[in-house]
Chains A and B, each alone.
Chain A
Amino acid sequence: MSDEPQEFSQFPVNQELSSDQKIELLTQMMRIRRFEQVSLKHYQGGKIGGFLHLYIGQEAVAVGTISLKGDNDHFITAYRDHGHALAVGMGMNECMAEMFGKQSGCSKGKGGSMHFFAPDKNFWGGHGIVAGQTPLGLGLGYGLKYQNKRGCCLCYLGDGAVNQGAFHESLNLAKLFEIPVVYVIENNGYSMGTSQVRSSAQPEFLAQRAEAYDMDWDIVDGSNLYEVRAKTHVAMERARNEFQPTILEINTYRYYGHSIADANHKKYRTPEEIEDYKQNHDPINVFQRKLIDEGVITDEQVAEITKAATQEANDAVKFADDAPSPTIKDITKDVYWETDNETEASTIGRHFFGD
């Protein structure tokens, strides 16, 4: 934690990045931000239903960690999932269409903002119940080990999830069974409207709970993409090579409320606090300045990337607007694998009831 940010750029995992790759990392963060800013506009315009949990301010966590992905590395997160979805390579079109409740959405309009999935990109959601995904992440790691694949699962959770029982059961099992899983606590300081000191008995380091399970842990500055990559790489290698789990606590900040329905988010924290983060710790600004200092990118290029990301997000809105809605017939599809695939088993007995 006391390390100078600059130092992390010298870690091998960052030194090996080409200029193009660095620009790509910045581009990914900017795409996520623009995507969400445009989402917000259309949520407020009534085109998106339910909740909208924005990731704005936390982009370096998803982009930094997922940039370390190998073929057999898998990812699963909670409901604040837009950043992870775009970082694994999901398209803005299918994600926007999902939020618009359209058939062309990544989940055919059946999941919404909190439930994006892309198993073909090793991304397993998008889960709505706080900490409910933590045993699933454990299971993905279990599956990799069972099938003798060298890889790991990164399972993300918020700081509010650390007090759920399912998370602690998962930690115990992860260490006991030597599962290649890395739990990434994205600590944005607030579990909805309740600050860390008001929700955790030992509030200094949430990741320190790892010690109760004889597990490694580390604290990461989430505004520094190089640091995110450097420290996550260590944890992922530990999982892949030694089947040892880790808890990483990545300190970050969300600019908006818990969700856009969180009307009190300016009451439980001060405008100065939000402004300070924007000015001094914004992961995109921090990384952008670094790349300019390194001579990797120019202001003009940054402007071009911003423009392209905005255009891409607006195009996604057009795509989502034009996409067809699900039909009543679609409601009972995707319930059972056997009925969807019209197998022999699906012809025996009644699977659906009522009209």
Chain B
Amino acid sequence: MSRKMLYRHAIREALDEELARDENVVVMGEEVAQYNGAYKVTEGLWEKWGDKRIVDTPISEAGFIGMGIGASMLGVRPVMELMFWSFHSVAFDQLVNNAACVRYMSGGLINVPIVVRGPANGGTNVGATHSHIPEGLFAAFPGLKVCAPATPADAKGLMKAAIRDNDPVYVMENTKLYGIEGEVPDPEDGDHVVPLGKADIKREGSDLSIIAHGRSVLHALEAAQTLQEKHGIDVEVLDLRSIRPLDVEAIIATVHKTNRVMLVDESKPFGGVSAMVSTIIHEEAFDYLDAPVARVCSIDAPAIYSPHIEDEQLPNPRRIVEKALMMG
């Protein structure tokens, strides 16, 4: 059995279950406790679990994320919320030097079982500094793991996998998805864990593969519907779910199947996830391509504020359909 559940509530359920499973799990961040979460992801958890397990921090991202990393070296398992992933920049040293490198520089003597989570998306008219989409950026650091769930079920399952993983995992959520409803398996039917590194075919098709992650998956599904109905193009949609580790097998398999690929990626085109996936396809499946790999990314400028135009800077169903038709 499964239930309909909002994306934010699916994440909360994952946190709640992991708090119950492991007494070392502690949720910390700005406004996560008494305020119930800036985006209400952690609503009710403080009331249930109390001060020790659900910790409000001051606005000190470098301080509290570094603190969580230090505590994790002793076996605590902090799940730290960045109110926006955009705020990574003020904690960058902790996120990429300490979390990603301390295992390596200690010759494997230390591990850092932390989760850093929060929304990483554009589309909310909050301007460039609050609209960074850094999954490609952090996936570029060996030592880190990154995932970006598109659905409530994946959000819950990946969060649980992230918390149980013994390496640092950065979970990129999306404020535009928090209010989206979807089917989530019932806890009574067993532990719902989605492993990192496993992509998911969200729609089967034979003419064109669209590979996406996060909210772009929903855009791809909508575009696929249009392409089917209006243009007779049968689109397969592969949701990466996890950026690092990356399900290269699934990427190659869908290329073999359709021989045409479009990558949809909310981050910028230069060095983003789509750039990496494109490279892998060229390295490992070039002979199976009937057309150059196409990409739909955010238009290459800092995120524009204007509510009249921001959606056009981001990938959207219309841009995906147009790009698909241009592929011939």
Point out residues on A near B: beta carbons under 8 Å.
Answer: 74, 76, 105-111, 115, 117-119, 124-129, 132-144, 146-147, 165-166, 169-170, 172-173, 176, 332-338, 340-341, 343, 345, 348-353
The 5 nearest A-B residue pairs measured at CB:
A139-B70, A349-B197, A135-B66, A169-B63, A349-B245
In the assembly, what is the distance between CA of A283 and CA of B259, in Å? 73
CB pair B143 A139 closer than 8 Å? no
Q: B244: CB under 8 A from chain A?
A: yes
CB pair B107 A136 closer than 8 Å? no
In the assembly, what is the distance between CA of A299 and CA of B48, in Å? 67
CB pair A334 B104 closer than 8 Å? yes
CB pair A108 B108 closer than 8 Å? yes
CB pair B58 A176 closer than 8 Å? yes
Q: Which residues of A contact B94 (CB under 8 A)?
A: 132, 135, 166
Q: Which residues of A contact B67 (CB under 8 A)?
A: 135-136, 138-139, 142, 170, 173
CB pair B76 A146 closer than 8 Å? yes
CB pair B74 A107 closer than 8 Å? no
State which of B63, B71, B145 has its C-beta within 8 Å of the C-beta of A146.
B71
CB pair B63 A172 closer than 8 Å? yes
**Which B236-252 residues sit within 8 Å CB-CB of chain A?**
242, 244-248
CB pair B93 A337 closer than 8 Å? no
CB pair B97 A348 closer than 8 Å? no
CB pair B73 A349 closer than 8 Å? no
Between-chain CB contacts (< 8 Å), 23 pairs: A110-B107, A119-B73, A126-B105, A128-B97, A135-B65, A135-B70, A136-B67, A139-B66, A139-B68, A143-B70, A146-B24, A146-B26, A147-B75, A165-B62, A166-B62, A170-B66, A172-B58, A334-B107, A335-B143, A336-B145, A349-B195, A350-B245, A351-B245
In the assembly, what is the distance between CA of A333 and CA of B98, in Å? 17
CB pair A136 B248 closer than 8 Å? no
Known contacts A125-B102, A348-B197, A353-B276; decide if A143 and B246 are in contact (CB<8 Å).
no
Q: B151: CB under 8 A from chain A?
A: no
In the complex, how many angstroms separate the beta carbon of B171 from the nearest chain A beta carbon? 15
State which of B24, B75, B142, B242 has its C-beta within 8 Å of the C-beta of A335.
B142
From A72, which residue of chain B is reached at the shortest CB distance? Answer: B74
Q: B34: CB under 8 A from chain A?
A: no
Known contacts A146-B52, A348-B198, A349-B245; decide if A115 and B106 are in contact (CB<8 Å).
yes
Known contacts A139-B66, A176-B58, A349-B197; decide if A335 and B74 are in contact (CB<8 Å).
no
Known contacts A142-B70, A349-B248; decide if A340 and B108 are in contact (CB<8 Å).
yes
In the complex, how many angstroms separate the beta carbon of A220 from the nearest chain B beta carbon? 24
Known pairs A107-B106, A170-B63, A336-B167; list 13 more (Cβ under 8 Å): A110-B107, A132-B93, A139-B69, A140-B73, A143-B75, A146-B71, A146-B76, A169-B66, A173-B58, A336-B103, A336-B145, A341-B166, A349-B196
From A74, which residue of chain B is reached at the shortest CB distance? Answer: B74
In the complex, how many angstroms separate the beta carbon of B33 from the nearest chain A beta carbon? 13
Q: B206: CB under 8 A from chain A?
A: no
CB pair B71 A140 closer than 8 Å? yes
In the complex, how many angstroms separate the beta carbon of A31 from the nearest chain B beta carbon? 22
